[in-house]
Chain A
Amino acid sequence: MSEHIHHHHDEHCDCGCHDHHEHHHHDEHCDCGCHDHHEHHHHEHDENCDCGCHDHDHHHHGEEKLPGVAYTKVRLHDDAKVVSGSLTVFGDYEKVRAGLNRGLTEFAAAVTEKGGIIGHIKASAEVKNVEMFSVTDVDVMIKTAPEQEINIILAAIVFFVSEEEAEQLGKKALESAIC
């Protein structure tokens, strides 16, 4: 664990021992209750931490996520299993859309098959097209990036299935969108 106390938010730091993008915080919400946001210890990404006051998945909000990898988390709220997930893929949105549709259908069917209850299973997809405009003489040349960037978010709440099952089903649903 890094020893120093940090002041965060927009404060400039030139200590040189870390990258500010690897900090948790700034304007993000954190309800772990283990610290004061104005005085925070800090960990590097690969650093082992046994402080016991948090888990690394919870922090590191700015952590870079790899394209094509489905990230999921599950938490318990009373009897509800709350699954949060995300996936970024590059490709043809129509195929991704069809895959996600299929994955969510299978998620719902699996919960029902296991005797569970679906609170809701929701996802959103944000599709980014990139076009480059350039001019060197008179005419503007427009080039379209060959693939679309698609950011998918999953939010599911289910009952009467285990946390592990709920998370696995969520992950599988997201992975269905990978073409």
Chain B
Amino acid sequence: MNVLIFGGFLGSGKTTALMQMARYIVETSVSDNPNKVMILENEIGEVGIDDAFLRGGGFRVDNLFAGCACCTVSGELVTAAIRIRKEYDPEWLIIETTGLAYPAKIQQNLKEAANIPSRIAVLIDASRWARLHIPMEGLFAGQIYGSDAVVINKVDLVEASVVDTVASDVREYDADTQIFRVSALDPVNAEVWKGVLGI
């Protein structure tokens, strides 16, 4: 079971991008595993919106409500990952974090508690970066740090120079992460998903 932790701030477009990425995995998989993708959806509130949307896309979705998988429900997340591996052993488990989570903490918890390795991809909303990255800097920096890939989303809504600024800021938080630029409402180039998934 490959695990991708898919993080990023609230409203960055995680669920929309995830739908595309999951379809890419299903359509390009050469494995004979019948369970291509499972999605573990974490909602910090007591109700879920995204899980119903993802189910409507035909994907198998599990939920963790009322807490954040990097802290308040970290134990439940590890338990859920172990259970999914045991019961389904999908080719890919994608964990969509809450917009407030620190993916590196989730990665650490999975590794230390269950010896489950994972990759981290973080989505960023280019259109709100200028407005949010100062007041939310601690959160943004913590989300990006330790990531394998950063996907700058909604690039169609801003000038190219703004995207360059975002990429430059991202480099300050993590110099080694791979950076991609997309508009997830449009078809995303397969090379992006290969980079995100590390395949």
Contact yes or no, B66 A119, CB < 8 A: no
- Chain A residues, Cβ within 8 Å of B45: 75, 82-84, 155-157
Contact yes or no, A120 B99, CB < 8 A: yes
How many chain B residues touch A (Cβ–Cβ < 8 Å)? Answer: 26
Q: Does B160 contact A (CB under 8 A)?
A: no
How many chain A residues touch B (Cβ–Cβ < 8 Å)? Answer: 27
- Chain B residues, Cβ within 8 Å of A73: 46
Contact yes or no, A29 B66, CB < 8 A: yes
Contact yes or no, A155 B64, CB < 8 A: no
Partner of B100, one of A77, A117, A118: A77
Chain B, Cβ-Cβ closest to A124 = B49
Main SS of the interface on chain B?
A: loop
Partner of A29, one of B47, B52, B76, B132: B76
Partner of B132, one of A77, A117, A123: A117
Check A77/B44 contact, CB under 8 A, given A29-B76, A124-B52, A159-B135: yes
- Chain B residues, Cβ within 8 Å of A179: none
- Chain A residues, Cβ within 8 Å of B157: none
Contact yes or no, B99 A84, CB < 8 A: no
Partner of A31, one of B43, B52, B73, B136: B73
Chain B, Cβ-Cβ closest to A57 = B46
Contact yes or no, B99 A31, CB < 8 A: no
Chain A, Cβ-Cβ closest to B72 = A31
- Chain A residues, Cβ within 8 Å of B136: 117, 159
List A residues 64-114 near B (Cβ within 8 Å).
73, 75, 77-78, 80, 82-86
Contact yes or no, A123 B9, CB < 8 A: no
Contact yes or no, A77 B68, CB < 8 A: yes
Contact yes or no, B11 A29, CB < 8 A: no
Bound form: Cα–Cα A153–B67 in Å: 17
Q: B1-18 toward A: CB 8 Å interface, digit per residue (1/0)?
A: 000000001110000000
Instruction: Tell me how far the C-beta of B96 lies from the nearest C-beta in chain A, rounded to whole angstroms.
Output: 13
Contact yes or no, A157 B99, CB < 8 A: yes
Interface residues of A (CB under 8 A from B): 29, 31, 73, 75, 77-78, 80, 82-86, 117-120, 122-124, 126, 153-157, 159-160
Interface residues of B (CB under 8 A from A): 9-11, 43-50, 52-53, 64-68, 72-73, 76, 99-100, 132, 135-136
